[in-house]
Each structure stands twice: as structure tokens, then as C-alpha cells.
Amino acid sequence: MRLLQLLPIVTLALCLAAAAQPQQPGPYKDSRDHPDTPAVKRGQELLEVLKSGDAGRLRSFVEDNFAASFLGQIPPEQHVEVLSRFGETARHLQLYGVRTYDPPRPPTQAVLIFRNDLSEAWEAIVVEVEAAAPHKISSLQLAPARPPSDLPPAEPMTQEQAVEKFAQYMKRLADEGQFSGAVLLAKGDEVLYEAAFGEADMGHHVANNPDTKFNLGSMNKMFTAVAIGQLAQQGKLSFDDPISKYLDESWLPKELADKVQIKHLLTHTSGLGSYFNDEFMNSSRLKFRELDDYKPLVHGETLAFEPGTETAYSNTGFLLLGPIIEKASGQNYFDYIREHLYAPAGMTGSDSYELDEVVENLAVGYYREGGQWKNNTFLHVLRGGPAGGGYSTVRDLHRFAQALRDDKLLSSATRDVLWTAKPELSSPSYGYGFGIQEVEGENVVGHSGGFPGINSNLLIYTDSGYTIAVMSNRSGGAGGPVSRAQALLGSIRND
């Protein structure tokens, strides 16, 4: 099926923008002299092909120089699709050197470090080749990198300098046609930067603006978690409750629901999977409008592991929090979110819109396939819900962040429960509906969302008060701006 065929492309595309450092992030050294190894040669050859912009040459390179095992994981056309996107800005990459580590990596692997003149950031191409000639590429990673070891530390900036740098970066990115969407940086209530680029509707050439409504992808999970937190504060449910207390057997068999607690759903540690299964893919999207419509997709679910012992991202888990909210509150899920989240936070441009109705200022999502732009209209859900698929704006996401900081949606105690990782539940980097990371010694919470034609992210700095909101109507579009914004915020000196 077409969507399932696209998912490996999306997964690999997100790898290009992932904020993970190359493995073994211990002591390292960068050499301007390039070792004459097969892995280094393959990396240099790949970069030369990418910079050429020749699609036929890239396809031949992949088919001739990628190992059979690698092509077995991801077909050649999908490698070409993702590498072509990366190649759109490859001319901005300047090879700096080759990185080595202590302890050393195997000789079949090479880490090439580049300066990206477009983003003013450091990037790495990690190439692994087969030990035997002709040394075909068996693994490839494209990722952000730490600065070279022989460079002095970057000079700290003022907040104004960092924001100006970010504005310049966004203009360059947009001028290259590499970003479509909206971006907002703020500190507390003060908006430091906001801008929109690209088109909300490519067919009619309608420009994006800061109030354009973009698809959230999985970011709705934050709203669902806050609703559960509100009901917990009111004593209408407990995080420790078994879900069988709220869901009858039309959702899940009782013996299964007795094992799963609400906290397991909130942390992706329930062992449940995803309702985006074969039945969903082969069904009309018109069948899924209210939460009860999803029952046939969920009822056959089984547990992949005992709840609380492992982590596995689960859309089914967050979907089930919706009917739990309905049972505990006595309200329709969508009405509850509008009344108890969007209204008190002032989020006037957010909702789980029904897409067969007319909605003003709504962005269409776009992705590339075979070098052609496609829209995601027939891939996506008709209406978003507890697990994702709703719409919002960068301004509304900022309002949401501030409402949480100002205790308008939750008490500070309950908010902190949501914003704390749960290693005791095998969830060391995820709280209740919020991802948790540490940046420059500060906790940063939030959530991203991705799908063909969708990529958005909200990051909330819990101490300094910074907020980063990026929404894009293109696959993988938020990754670059988020990474650049975080790097620049990290460079601000604190006088």
C-alpha cells in the first residue's frame, strides 16, 4: 500500500534531521588529512555525486555501490528519493576533515565532517563499508555533528544576536526553497521572532502566514495528556487506574485491559501497537470521524510485552485515552479539549477539524515522490484525535506553552508530573505525553509530529522560558529550523 511504502522514506528522511550525535560521543579528533581507506573514499564519492545534482548518476551510484544487505532493508528507489532531497543543499557542504574516536571505530567505518554554509552548522556523513572488495556501502547515516576538535569554542552571543542569526538562517533556507511553514521563537510572553514562508496551497499559490493552521501530527498527544492531568487533579481518575475501569469490552478484552494502567498509555509502555493497520489503510477515511468509529481497529490488539517493562511508541495507547476522557468527564472528547484546553489557553486557531468541511487558512501537506510534489490529502485521516492529526498555529502553540507555565491548564504540581521522565516505567526520555530532553543543563519538554507532508515541533524550556514552535507542511521540514534554533539559544551568554 502506498502509505506503507512511504514510511521507510519518511523514517530515513527524519534520520537526516535527527538531533542525535554520531555514536560513541566520547573523545574525538579531527584530521584535515584524509586517510586512504575504502570507507573514506566511498564517502567522498557519494558527496561528489550528490553535489552533481544528476539524478541518473545518483541512481547508478546507489545500485552499483550499496551492499545487497542495505538495499534489502530499503529499496534503491527510496535511497535515491531521500538522498536526492539531501542533495538539494549538498552544494553548501564543505568537507572539513575525517573524525576519529577513542576508542577507535572499526576500519570499515568513516566519519566525514562538513561545514554546512546554508545552516552554519556542522554535519557528519557516517559511512560503513563491507570489509571485502569492492567495499560496498553497508550503512549510511547523515546527522548533525559537534564542532571540530581543533577549533576554538564559539564566542557566546547576546539574545539579539542569536535571534538575528536565526532570522538570517530562515531567510537563506526559504530562498533555497527548503522550508515551507511558520516559525516562532519566544521568551516568556515576548515573541522574539516569527515568520512564515512558502505556500499553504501550491495549486493556488496561497502563501503561508503566522496564523496558518498546520497539521500537528502526533503533537495532539500533549493536549490529550493535559486533559488526563486535569481529570486526575479533580479526582475523576488516577494515573494508576486500570483502563478496564473506563473501557468496556467493545474496546479491548477485559483480561488485557485489566493489565494496562492509564500511566502506561501516557508513556508508550502499554505494549499496545498502532491502529494504523491494514484494516485502516484499506478503509475509506470517511468511516473514522468519532472515537467509537475506531473500535474495530483496536479490538484485536494484543500486548507485545508486559505493561511498564518496555517502551514502544503506541498510537493505539493515546487513542484509548480519548474514550477514557469521555467516560471520566461525561463530555465528548473534542468538546472537552475545546472547552478545557483551547479556550483557557486562548488557542483560537486549533482544533481537530473535519476535512470534508471548509476550514479557512488551512495548509495542505506536501511530500516528494519520484521527484514530483504530491499532496497528502488521500493519505491522512479525515479528522485528527487523541493520538494526533489535529491542526494548530505557531502562535497557538506559544499560547499553549505559556498557559502551562502560568498554571492556567494544570497546577504546577501536576504539570511537573507530566514533564518528568518515567524511568521506573521503562520511559527514561518521555513523561506523560511530553518528550523530555536536557539541553545545556536545562530540561526541555515538548513533542514533534511527522507524516508525509507534515512535520511540526514544540519545545518548551522549563527554566529560561524559551519556546520554539516550528510547523511545516512538508515532510521533514521542521528538523533544520529546530536544530538551528536550539544551537543558537545554547550559545546565548547569561550575563
Question: What are the pLDDT digits (tens) for 308-366?
Answer: 999 999 999 999 999 999 999 999 999 999 999 999 999 999 999 998 899 999 999 99
**pLDDT value, residue 128:** 97
Nearest to 59 by CA among 74, 80, 75: 80
Rounded-to-integer distance, Cα 35 and Cα 196, Å: 44
Rounded-to-integer distance, Cα 83 and Cα 79, Å: 6
Rounded-to-integer distance, Cα 459 and Cα 401, Å: 9
Task: Please write the tens of the pLDDT for every residue from 226-237.
Answer: 999 999 999 999
- Residue 101, strand partner residues: 28
pLDDT range class, residue 494, cuts 50, 70, 90: confident
Distance from chain centroid for Cα 347: 22
Rounded-to-integer distance, Cα 367 and Cα 384, Å: 19
**pLDDT value, residue 206:** 97
Q: What is the DSSP-derived secondary structure letter of residue 474?
A: B
Q: Which helix (H) or strand (E) holds 118?
A: none
Average pLDDT of the residues in 100-117: 93
pLDDT range class, residue 2, cuts 50, 70, 90: very low
Please identify which residue in the block is written with the cell numbers 474496546.
251
Q: Which amino acid is at 302?
A: T
Higher pLDDT, 120 or 429: 429
CB neighbours of 132 closer than 8 A, spacing ≥ 6?
none
- Alpha carbon dihedral 229, 231, 235, 237, in 10-degree steps, equals -90
- Residue 106, strand partner residues: none
- pTM, entire model: 0.87
Give me the count of residues in the chain: 495
